[in-house]
Amino acid sequence: MQIFPNIYLLSGFAYQIHQNVYGIDIPGKNKMVLIDCGLGEEDLNMIEQNRILWGIQNREIDAVFITHSHYDHAGNAAFFEKMGCRIYAGGDADSLISGDEHTIGFAYGREFPVCEKVYKLQEGKCVPLAEDCKIVCHHTPGHTSGSMCYELICNGMKSIFTGDFVQAGENSGEVRLGVKVDSGYNYSEYVSSMRKMMESEADAVFPGHYGPWLAEGKRIFQLAYRELLVNRERYR
């Protein structure tokens, strides 16, 4: 599903698949990058079907940016690495190589397919995609210790991809937060990260589950910050 001229939902909520996979078409190049890559074969099939549907099947998938190491968002990273893609991640990069508990393979009853090499991104790192198009990395620990939000700045628009750090809910104006399934979960860090992201000037926010927030993107972080504080006992 094409959401903006250069942003596609390639797998996820609109296709009755829980985790979202986004594709960014790089202006002026016959390439695209993915934000997260899904759980397994169902996602891979849906990604390919949508690339054909929207006529972008000939775009080379140049890189995959992983928001965090959980299986449902990163399970296909090794597949794309074998296809020649660069795999990028924040502080969770080591888990994608080791397949440790932070991939939460235990929740899916299977072993995580590990990557050979993951390019580790730091807070504030800027990854240029094309002229006037770049990704800025925001380290947002809380849901996991190495969670990363990716801010796409392209053609004067700012879009932020959040993974599980913050999610739009099932209903309009609703927010959800990442669950406490990882030993790296940290409430205090979550609050600090959300306070930081509240200052962002996002035009749109693309979460790892449920639908995108296509107007007043900044507001989703404000609502999530309030949720963390008001219902703190639920998240501590």
Tell whether pTM > 0.95.
Answer: yes
Q: What pLDDT shows up at residue 190?
A: 98
pLDDT tens for 142-180 read 999 999 999 999 988 999 999 999 998 777 888 999 999
**Which residue bears the tokens 């949508």?**
50
Beta bridge partners of 152: 135, 159
Q: What pLDDT shows up at residue 155?
A: 87
Q: What pLDDT shows up at residue 93?
A: 98
Q: In what order do the strands lie in the sheet with 157-163?
A: 126-130, 133-139, 148-154, 157-163, 204-207
Q: Which residue positions in the chain have pLDDT lower than 50? A: none
Q: What pLDDT shows up at residue 215?
A: 87
Q: What pLDDT shows up at residue 172?
A: 80
- SS3 percent helix, strand, coil of the chain, rounded to 5, is 30, 30, 40
Three-state DSSP at 132 gives coil
